[in-house]
Amino acid sequence: MAAGAPERVAPQVVTALGADAAELLAGDPWALLGVPGFGPEQADLYARGALAGAWAAEDPRRVRAIVMWLLRRAARQGDTAIEADAVRTALARFEVGDPDTALRAILAEGRVMAFAAAGPAGGADEYTEGGGDHPDGDPDGGDFDDDFDDEFMEPDELAAAGGVLLALDDYALAEEAIAEAVVRLLSTVEPWPEIGDGKLDRALNTTGVVLYAAGPGEEPPAAVLAAAASARAAGLRVALVAPTTDGRSRLGEGALGLRELAALERGPDGTLELDLLVVTDATLLDVTAAAAIFEAVPDGARLLLAGDAAGLESTGPGRVFTDLAATGMLRALVAPVVPQGPLEGLADGIRDGRLPPIQDPDRRVVLVPAQTGEEAAHRCAQLVADSIPRAIGIAAADVLVVAPLATGPAGATALNVALKARLNPGPGIDVGDRVVRVAPDGGTGVVQGVVREALPDGRVVVSFGSDAPEALRPEALRHGWALTARQSLGVRRPGAVVVLPAEGAEAYTRALMYTLVTRGERHVSIVHAAGPALAAAVAAEPTRHRVTHLQQALREAAG
């Protein structure tokens, strides 16, 4: 690369920016900020070399790239928007002398949009005085000038208004599309045949969008499947969808993934020809996927979203299920209270902010203490290879190992090494290994596969769930004996081993713990080396909520 940038990053740059990366960087050296892993300091260093004496802090290319980098970074944290004051502060830190003028120029290009944040009457849980739970803390909070009630703001209005949010156009338009689709479906409800007498059946009879809050580990929810079956029996056209491959397999034959849903035939107006679309694990939908689903449902049809908002949210930006429930505009049904066993009781306690004592003679939940991360990794391998198959009757292949993080002596990476050595020793990717793709498909989630055969050309044949086996290069795979909590979203197995080391315990949260303990359907072993940090994490209220505009967009669309 030019300007002294190391050659070793060239493949990474080409992957992110395309085959014309060199030409693009020659015209705009700050385009380097579009490459994952590069920040403004590195881009400035490269630009100083590429531009020599022509480098300027106020260069429009630089300012635009920094703003886009801030928004993309926020999206990786789950936010669909970021407070304009936080952007102004960041630009000032990067020596941009007149942030408002720079922002007005960027807004005029249309790639970034600005809109007034929700006032105290709505969204106050996220935009409170002093910044509330948002780490950037906007002292102007939820107040904004009455002259700017319309959602999107013109560039020259930016400086005059407080409480402004900025968003990439993709995410802003996706939230707008969801809001408009909700209003459309609520206002075009047509009479249905009576499909049943349950609460969920009655809700679907009368309204266009219904939310179902599932209970701990209830995926797929029995009530949702029963309502779908009743609708089919009444002659209605029904489709069942799950965001992940694992979730789709749990729904059974005929269920669809997001890719299959997108490929279905559509009517003249572009919507699906169906009467009821059911989406399970709906808390895993980011705004882009959710917008595609909402826009696909035709007038007069029903959309039923089922999910458990107590766990980790989608890996992509947004909190669609939670935002929809928070508005109070939609019919929301909660799973009925049922007699709980120890596993459900543990999950329910964590959801309420407490760690109930584990007393389970049937060993559905087992607590295994460990003093160090290394001991935790050893005990995990022992549980999967011996104890759980022998004492619980769940085969090692049906046990999911999950850890909060990838790094550390008992992170997912180290656990993969320990489990590989215990369950299938060998030098690399070998027949019998459990594997995942190095670059998983974001539309299917992480899917564990098993290596079935080694081919003479160096490839290996891998079975991923019920899909047809694939021949892949070993470098496209990594060991998948253990997953991180994020990778495990949408994945459940008959048994699970949750490894909780002390390392990284500062990142533990209630939602993280809830996600971990709900990965096992029949049994969960918890290898606990985190000490008091675990109880503290469960008891602590969430300190940050994702910044989104969907609730406000819904209220505005509803008039």
φ, ψ (nearest 5 deg) of residue 164: -100, 140
List the one residue out of 195, 354, 364, 393 whose CA is nearest residue 278. Answer: 195
Model pLDDT, residue 446: 87
Strand 434-437 versus strand 477-479 pairing type? antiparallel
CB of 231 closer than 8 Å to CB of 275: yes
CA distance 466 to 249: 8
- The secondary structure element, H or E, covering residue 63 is helix 60-76
φ, ψ of residue 500 to 5 degrees: the values are -120, 90
What whole-number distance in Å separates Cα of residue 234 and Cα of residue 144? Answer: 50
Per-residue confidence (pLDDT) for residue 542, from 0 to 100: 86
Q: What is the assigned CATH class of domain 342-429+478-528?
A: alpha beta
How far apart CA 403 and CA 487 sit, in angstroms, is 10
Helical segments of 126-273, H only? 169-187, 199-206, 222-233, 245-251, 258-263
pLDDT, position 338: 73
Q: What is the pTM of this model?
A: 0.88
pLDDT of 142: 31
What span, in angstroms and rounded, lies between the C-alpha atoms of 5 and 221?
A: 53
Q: Are 193 and 139 in contact (CB under 8 A)?
A: no
Residue 149 is predicted with a pLDDT of 36
Mean pLDDT by 10 residues, the chain (559 residues): 60 87 92 92 92 91 95 96 94 92 91 78 30 31 32 52 85 98 96 90 94 90 95 96 92 92 93 97 96 97 96 95 95 83 92 91 93 96 98 96 96 97 96 91 81 97 87 96 95 96 93 96 96 94 91 93
- The answer to whether the 173-339+545-557 and 342-429+478-528 domains have the same CATH topology is yes
Domain ranges of the chain: 2-168, 173-339+545-557, 342-429+478-528
Fold of 173-339+545-557: Rossmann fold (3.40.50)
**Taking a C-beta distance cutoff of 8 angstroms, is the pair 286, 243 a contact?**
no
> For residue 283, what are its two tokens?
């808390």
